[in-house]
Structure 1
Amino acid sequence: MKMTSTFGGTAAVLSTLALAVLSTNAAQAANLNPTFSLDANVELDTDAIDSGAGSTEYSQGGRVEANLRGEIRSEQYFVRGKGTLILAKDSDTHTDDMWVQFGQDRWDLQFGRFEGIDLFPKGKDTLVVHAGGGLAQVYEANLVRGRAGTDGGQIALHLQGDSGLRFELNTLFGDDNVDGTDEDAVSGARPVIVYEGDGFSARLGYEYQQVDLIGGGEIEKEGFGAGATFSLGEALVNLNAAWLDDQTQGSNVDEVRSYGANVIYGRFGAGLIYSETELAIGPDPDVTTAYAAYTLPLFDIDNASVTFAVSGSTADNVGVDDSATGVRMRLNYTF
């Protein structure tokens, strides 16, 4: 009788505890407020590009982009994730963004494939064609910005301060270079600080990239980027500057200094980029590129638009590829 009574009492206690745990879990789950969203869009570009090769090239490209987003949040913490699938017109299928982010309002960590803070925003850059055949380079402080390749990944720390200050430390984990050895845990680091005020923001960042190559040698580069964004009436203006120091042994490029300014006014946007490349051997090339774009709704249909874009560029000390022009018509439909 005593064993029966003890067993019955234990069973009652276990049942009570189980009910309490289930009730607590249910209450916690109810307080987490999970959200989920799915969206997609199709974008199609029809181009005519004259890159100085002697004839104009006509092409059509595009992709379907599908985005999955989710977030779950408690009183203090959150976990969110995103996955972006790209179905390209050339039959290529790949993942664009794919990441998990967790933390709280003051700090968070992000793992996966994503883009960090843009230190050189180009505004309405629907089409930007640079002359120079790659000899006159343009540096946008984005070597370690992200979306690492097949073998690489990213780990980023975000801090949110008072008075509009925020900080991002983005790192490349492993190697995103196809010729890299993948033997270094960290192949790039990119700290960025941003201040955001009323109608004004400023950004400053540094990046360092070091990749050991499979055939021997290494890539070693460091750079700085700075800029400001502000409102000018109803227009939004971006001013950018970036400097690259290429320390790679055997590279003919010593430094690249790039400057940009652009404006967005309603459906219209225009920009100008000037860049100087300092070579170890030979005359130093430079390139100047202007671009503009205008977007119209397509038959006044919601979520459908057509954008007309143009770009023109000239370069010095580059040989035959000293000019480039292009026009583009982009159709976009979000569904």
Structure 2
Amino acid sequence: MNFFKISITAAAMAASFSAAAGINIIDNEKGSFSIGGDVEFDLNYEQKSDAAAGDDSSHFDQTGRILIEFAGERKTESGHYLKFKAQPLMDSSGAVNLDDSWFSFGVKDSWELRLGRFEAYDMFPVGQDTFLEYSGDTANDLYTDNAGYMYQLKEGRGRGGEAGQVMYSHRFANLYTEVSTMIGDRTELFADTYHGKALEASSDSIIVRPVVAYQTNNFRVAASMEANLVKDAVIFADGSAGDVGNRIGYGVTANYSQGDLSVDVNAAYLDALNEADSTLAMNVLWKGFGLGYVYGVNDFDAASGWHDGKVEVQTVYSSYQFADIFDVNDFSIYVGLYHTNLTDKGISLASNFAEGDDFGGRVRFKYFF
């Protein structure tokens, strides 16, 4: 009998896929289960300049991926719920990765406990970032020597390699609070070295990231911080003095939305070993057109033996969405551009920051199914 039920369910799912273009939702006494996802493929052009070396490099490529989302929810008579989500990613390069993979339970419009792999509250939204790069090769969650670091309060936000995550959130009418954690080895936050020295983990890190957000009418504001609670979790491999894992960040973000208009203003500050990083940003989205500006400063102490003074990075980016292609609500084409510049205003002790102007353009094909 159970085999017969499973066979009927599988046949219903197959029929649903054929009739509903890849979207399937099942509702029964056990709860709901859905399958969906999105397609995202890009045509990219970039040109990077190195003023110190006196040369330019450019490249044209195609990147992208298909995301499949499996989601389920079960509600109880007592008002509680249980949810899960898994999002495998199939890259055009042939690699298979994973976005979200989590399990949660709680009460609707009240509290929730979540475990797994996910992203916590976004404290540095950048709007419609079809193409957003920064001078150097440093991402907002990866520190690389000789490149500007655009700190955005995301070191403890989530999806950090093999580190596990636990988050508790609670809503009180217009007030939202959460406390998220990342637990595990966080040496992968650093691409290779820190101030020219190799790193190692002496113990697992515990990064705590509380957030408080308040919404009133069309205005929303949020404040947060993140810090590693474990002393000497990340240290220099050669035994040099210094607690590299002792990084404390602070940030605020505000949003105003009215009709087709949305404006974000962000600020973040990081106090790290022999280095302080600050970032300011603003972006505007109106009727499919997006424009943003990000300004970052990395201020090094001479005690680092790496650099003395400031490195500045300025980035401007823009994009436009051509929506409802072929009259399909879920199919859009985006055109995006960015320009970024790094300026070294300090004194190099052992560093090699490459000044120059980088820019790029992208055409993105996006379809939700």
TM over 0.5: yes
AA matched with 1:117:
Y
AA matched with 1:309:
G
The gaps in structure 2 that reach 5 residues or longer are 1-26, 51-55, 139-146, 189-198, 302-306, 346-352
The CA deviation at 1:85 is: 0.4
Alignment partner of 1:156: what SS?
Answer: strand
Is 1:121 matched with 2:148?
no
AA matched with 1:85:
P
Of 31-40 and 123-132, deviating more is: 31-40
Alignment partner of 1:194: what SS?
Answer: strand
Is 1:50 matched with 2:47?
yes
Of 271, 284, 302, the residue aligned with 1:263 is 284
TM-score by length of 2: 0.75
Is 1:112 matched with 2:116?
yes
Alignment partner of 1:299: what SS?
Answer: helix
Please name the residue that 2:297 is paired with.
276
Q: Give the paired residue count.
A: 298
- Superposed CA deviations along residues 270-307 of structure 1, whole A, max 9, x for unmatched, are 11111111012333111111101111133333422210
- Residues 145 and 44 from structure 1, CA distance in 2 versus in 1: closer, same or farther, beyond 3 angstroms? same
Residue correspondence of structure 1 range 198-213 to structure 2 within 5 A: 198-209=217-228, 211-213=233-235
Supply the distance in 1 between the matched residues of 2:202 and 2:326 (Cα, whole angstroms): 51
Supply the distance in 2 between the matched residues of 1:304 and 1:108 (Cα, whole angstroms): 33
Supply the distance in 2 between the matched residues of 1:295 and 1:42 (Cα, whole angstroms): 16
Please name the residue that 2:358 is paired with.
324
The CA deviation at 1:148 is: 2.4
- Superposed CA deviations along residues 247-287 of structure 1, whole A, max 9, x for unmatched, are 3xxx5xx1111000001112111111111110123331111
Is 1:313 matched with 2:340?
yes
Higher Rg: 1
Alignment partner of 2:130: what SS?
Answer: coil
- Residues 180 and 82 from structure 1, CA distance in 2 versus in 1: closer, same or farther, beyond 3 angstroms? farther
RMSD: 2.2
Please name the residue that 1:246 is paired with.
272
- Superposed CA deviations along residues 119-174 of structure 1, whole A, max 9, x for unmatched, are 01000011112125653321101110001212x11000111113x11111000122
Conserved 8 A contact 1:309-1:329: yes
Supply the distance in 2 between the matched residues of 1:37 and 1:322 (Cα, whole angstroms): 48
The CA deviation at 1:52 is: 1.2
Supply the distance in 1 between the matched residues of 2:177 and 2:202 (Cα, whole angstroms): 27
Is 1:41 matched with 2:41?
no
The CA deviation at 1:180 is: 5.7
The gaps in structure 1 that reach 5 residues or longer are 1-29
Identity of counterpart residues, as a percentage? 27
The CA deviation at 1:314 is: 1.8
Supply the distance in 2 between the matched residues of 1:203 and 1:237 (Cα, whole angstroms): 14
